[in-house]
Amino acid sequence: MTRMVNCVILKKEAEGLDRPTYPGELGKRIFENVSKEAWQQWLRHQTMLINEYRLSPIEPKARQFLEEEMEKFFFGEGASAVDNWSAPKS
């Protein structure tokens, strides 16, 4: 049976994550309030942040920055936009 959540990003009921994707309290909040579709949106945004800012996820400062951005993306005012970035044209 599919687990449904009231997604904070999509603002509707949607299929929830199969398992927690992040540790700790933030991971619990994400598991309870974020859909699979919204998680995929975050992963695309996170990839953009890593590439544009040339972050190394093994560095503690980069991990802290990404965690802060994740919290803002899901539960705050939205994640930061990358300066001078525009989506590729289809």
- 34-60 pLDDT, tens digit per residue, is 999 999 999 999 999 999 999 998 999
pLDDT at 1: 75
Q: Would you say domain 4-75 falls under CATH 1.10.3880.10?
A: yes
What amino acid occupies position 68? E
Whole-number Cα distances in Å, 49 to 11, 34, 59, 82: 24, 20, 14, 7
Cα 84 from Cα 15, distance rounded (Å): 34
| Residue of 43 and 88 predicted with greater confidence | 43
pTM here is 0.85
Cα 80 from Cα 73, distance rounded (Å): 8
Domain ranges of the chain: 4-75
